[in-house]
Structures are given as structure tokens and as C-alpha cells.
Amino acid sequence: MAKADRLERLDQRRADMEAEYTAALIAALRTAAAGKWGLFDHNGDRWTRAAVAPVIENLIEIAEGIDRARDQLGMDPFALHLEFLASRGPVGSEAVGEPKQAKGWLDRLTASDPQT
């Protein structure tokens, strides 16, 4: 019974961390959608990268905790974080700008959770 209780508490903590990650990502996306570049690191500018580094580091830190919990629970890695990381980096000239990309992410995340 103790193991089941421990796993239940760990799963609740995982869910709380995922909600914390989502809230932090949405806050960052709102800033990016308002016109602040750097979240997706499209330009690779070191000044912009340094300005957004605390946000990225916070997201990574939360995601690492989530993945540790998910690993202990036998779950797959946190897909939202993996998708976010995959969306970062240089893009071609035909790609949308970061504010528009952030708006798309916001629309998708808030459509799946109308309370955000």
C-alpha cells in the first residue's frame, strides 16, 4: 500500500509540474506573441538569446523534473517540452516570425485548455 501511495503522490507531483510548465510556457508565448523575439531563437542573436535565457532555463529545469517523475512512473518523456525544443533554432526565410509562431502555439495550447 505504501508503494501505491508513493506512486500516487509522485503522479500528482508530475501533473502539478506539467501544469507549472504549461503556465510558464504560455506566459513566455504571450510575451513573444506581443513582439518580443528570442523564445524560438530564430535569429541566433547572442544578445537576444541572453535576454531570454532565464525563461528557457526555467522551462528546462521544470521539464527535467517532469521527465524524472515520468521515468519513475514508466511514462514517455514530456512531449510538450520536446516539441517546444524542436521548434527552436534557425529557420528558412519562408518561415513565419516568432510572434506569429508564438500566437499559433498559444491558440493551440489555449484551445486544449480554455482556463489558460
Q: Where are the domains of the chain?
A: 2-112
Asked whether the beta carbons of 62 and 17 are under 8 A apart, the reply is yes
Does the pLDDT at position 114 exceed 60?
no
Strand boundaries in the chain, DSSP class E: none
Does the pLDDT at position 108 exceed 70?
yes
In this prediction, residue 1 carries a pLDDT of 66
In this prediction, residue 116 carries a pLDDT of 53
Distance of alpha carbon 78 from alpha carbon 55, whole angstroms:
18
| Better-scored residue on pLDDT, 94 or 32 | 32
pLDDT band at 115 (very low <50, low <70, confident <90, very high): low
Distance of alpha carbon 70 from alpha carbon 115, whole angstroms:
24
Does the pLDDT at position 96 exceed 60?
yes
Does the pLDDT at position 23 exceed 70?
yes
Q: Which of 76, 80, 89, 91 lies closest to 25, judged by CA?
A: 80
pLDDT tens-digit series, residues 24-53: 999 999 999 999 999 999 988 899 999 999
Q: Which of 27, 30, 24 lies closest to 65, judged by CA?
A: 24
